[in-house]
Amino acid sequence: MTYRGVLIGCGFFAQNHMHAWQSTPGAEIVAVCDRDPARAEQFRRDFGVAESFSDAAVMMATLRPDFADIVTTVETHPELVKLCLSHGALTICQKPFAESYAAGLEMVKAAEAAGRQLLVHENFRWQKPFRHIRAAVETGEIGRPHFLRLSFRHGHDIYANQPYLARVEELALMDVGLHLFDVARFLMGDVDSISCTTQRLNQRVRGEDAFVALLRHKDGAVTSVECSFDSRFGEERFPQTLAQVEGDGGSLELLAGYRLRRHGPDVIAEEDVEPPVPLWGTRPWHLIQESVAAFEAHVVEVLDGRAVPQPSGAHNLETLALTRAAYRSARQGETIHMAPFI
Ligand code: NAD
Ligand code: 89Y
């Protein structure tokens, strides 16, 4: 069976989505849509898609696809997500899911009311190194994990491809913080409390471009998350996240250059976990591009009923809540406890 899908938003990142869909068995993008008709038509031609539209409502009503992939920026998500769900489509929404918890909740409720699956395109947890780390944690290789450090610090010019990032008031936490919080939940479980402090390092951007957050998980484990878009290293690291997980039986270190070091009771082993560069991909984006393809293959499994969404809108709403709590903590200089916040 081949599921019929549509893609909404033919901008920078949608190219990765589209290439990945074209290499995903079981799914076909039958139409693309952008509110800029010339952009939609160019995208259609570049990828050899059957139809292009400039109005998502017209496209959804005309085609009634099995799934819709929304690759627009955050302010457009509630309207588009509700539209796609109302036409019966499994709906995928790019991150950030929503600008506010209330807007995210509205979309989760719309999915429940429509009886349709809603996924958030949260691809960091689908990156090959994190798939390996999760498998190692699950098999008990390092015992019970009690500490995680995630470090996403680079100096790559992200504003060249995504100029809107320089203009937003909320930058690093909403752009990448929520990816890292999702990874923390993926590896260590749900979070009880968070404290966070932010920095604005590059004076040419409006929002915070660095932060450090401390998460306490429900089982007592802790995670330290560090992020900066203005760090200088001899060898640029973008878009790698470095990680360290410590458990009572060993540790795992994800080092620069995709080296996964496993510390057992008496051995240290090192493995190369660099993902392949997709045929359509380019370095250094291959880490993200391969994860987009892994996520999309997962969407077909969800459509088949063989998997549950990773992550669902409902799950990602709590990650958004954490991100909102991080801003509140940074503003108020306090630790935020999640239960009353949600
Ligand atoms: P972009 O501005 O380049 O593209 C967005 C496109 O959506 C534009 O062409 C715009 O005209 C179109 N659009 C907006 N509203 C529309 C509507 N109502 N109907 C149809 N088309 C509409 O943005 P981008 O850089 O491609 O980013 C898109 C999203 O992807 C953002 O939310 C961003 O955070 C996310 N992103 C995710 C990753 C990742 O690794 N997961 C990486 C980069 C960007
Ligand atoms: O938008 C961001 C994302 O999701 O991954 C990296 C990025 O493209 C720039 O920070």
Q: Which of 7, 13, 176 to mutate to test the pocket of ligand 1 (most atoms within 8 A of CB)?
A: 13
Ligand 1 within 6 A of CB of 122: no
Q: What is each CA distance from 109 to 78, 115, 116, 312, 326, in whole angstroms?
A: 11, 10, 10, 12, 24
Q: Report whether 240 contacts 287 (CB < 8 A).
A: yes
Q: What is each CA distance from 48 to 39, 45, 94, 300, in whole angstroms?
A: 14, 5, 23, 21
What interface predicted TM-score (ipTM) does this complex get? 0.99
Ligand 2 within 6 A of CB of 175: yes
Q: Which of 153, 158, 168 to mutate to test the pocket of ligand 2 (most atoms within 8 A of CB)?
A: 158
Question: With 80 as the cut, is the pLDDT of residue 342 above it?
Answer: no
Angle at which helices 14-22 and 37-47 pack, to 10 degrees? Answer: 30
What domains are defined for the chain? Answer: 3-121 (3.40.50.720), 124-274+312-341 (3.30.360.10)
311: cis peptide before it, omega within 30°? yes
Provide DSSP, 174-232. IIIIHHHHHHHHHHH--EEEEEEEEE---TTSSS--EEEEEEEETTS-EEEEEEESS--
Ligand index nearest the alpha carbon of residue 75: 1
CA distance 7 to 17: 9
Predicted confidence (pLDDT) per residue in 298-334, tens digit: 999 999 999 999 999 999 999 999 999 999 999 999 9
Predicted confidence (pLDDT) per residue in 167-212, tens digit: 999 999 999 999 999 999 999 999 999 999 999 999 999 999 999 9
Residue linked to tokens 């795992």: 252
The two structure tokens encoding residue 165:
């990032």
Residue linked to tokens 């039958």: 30
**Which atom in ligand 1 lies closest to the alpha carbon of residue 291?**
40
Report the pLDDT value the prediction gives residue 288, as an integer from 0 to 100. Answer: 98
**Which atom in ligand 1 lies closest to the alpha carbon of residue 162?**
25
220 Cα–ligand 2 center, Å: 30
